[in-house]
């Protein structure tokens, strides 16, 4: 989801790495629930991999600010952001394998939040390219990318609803996802405090 000028060959390699690692995450989550029906397990594993990718995309910035050696990884936000949207779309498709229903009774709000997040995710993924940056202009493009926060908070409510209310059939996994979700605003706040600290020091020194 971010500026990264790399050669075509390099870009394909980076996408290959992220796609491969994400598929391993899907497999890992699938293996955790072998007793579940396959279509439900697949839909959830794709959703969970998608959420892990979203969290990784959102954490790279604050982690790089808090610990500068990690800044070199920030360009990977483009690949993790694009694959987040791909896996979210696959999750949506898989969740309808047993018949499409636009809104399920009693689950309208989390489903609408899911649609909003998916629509924004696909839009941001399609404009995650150097061509799009050149077309929109860097500032306007960055402004559009701040919509990632809308995705993050809408998806977090969607996930919390599905894991804690709609389907209370998993033991510890929902807590793991809560920790992931809480880590994003926590590290953003820590990075903000760190930046303010540096600024105050500079002001005093100057």
Binding site for ligand HEM (CB under 6 A): 40, 43-44, 47-48, 50-51, 88, 91-92, 95, 111, 114-115, 117-118, 121, 155, 158-159, 162-163, 167
Tell me whether residue 51 or residue 141 sits nearer to ligand HEM (CB atom): 51
When the beta carbons of 40 and 194 are compared against ligand HEM, the nearer one is: 40
The answer to whether 10 touches 79, Cβ cutoff 8 Å, is no
Q: Which of 75, 83, 93 is nearest to 39 (CA)?
A: 93
Cβ distance to ligand HEM smaller for residue 65 or 78 = 78
Q: How far is the CB of 13 from ligand HEM (least distance, A)?
A: 25
Q: Which residue is nearest to ligand HEM (CB)?
A: 114
Axis crossing angle, helix 148-160 with helix 108-126, rounded to the nearest 10: 150
* Residues across the chain: 206
Nearest approach, Cβ of 114 to ligand HEM (angstroms)?
3
Max CA separation in the chain (angstroms):
65
149: CB partners within 8 A, 6+ apart: none
């Amino acid at each position: 989801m971010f500026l990264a000028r790399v050669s075509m060959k390099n870009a394909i390699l980076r996408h290959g790495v992220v796609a491969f690692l994400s598929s391993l995450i899907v497999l890992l989550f699938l293996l955790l629930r072998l007793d579940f029906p396959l279509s439900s397990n697949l839909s959830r594993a794709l959703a969970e991999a998608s959420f892990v990718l979203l969290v990784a995309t959102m954490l790279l910035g604050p982690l790089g600010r808090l610990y500068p050696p990690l800044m070199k990884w920030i360009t990977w936000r483009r690949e993790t952001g694009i694959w987040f949207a791909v896996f979210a779309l696959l999750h949506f498709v898989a969740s309808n394998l047993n018949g499409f229903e636009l809104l399920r009774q009693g689950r309208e709000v989390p489903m609408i939040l899911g649609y909003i997040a998916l629509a924004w995710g696909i839009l941001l993924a399609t404009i995650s390219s150097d061509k799009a940056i050149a077309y929109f202009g860097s500032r306007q493009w960055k402004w559009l990318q701040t919509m990632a926060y809308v995705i993050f908070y809408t998806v977090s409510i969607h996930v919390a609803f599905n894991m804690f209310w709609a389907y209370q059939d998993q033991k510890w996994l929902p807590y793991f996802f809560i920790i992931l979700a809480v880590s994003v605003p926590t590290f953003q706040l820590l990075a903000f405090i760190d930046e303010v600290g540096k600024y105050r020091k500079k002001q005093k020194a100057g």
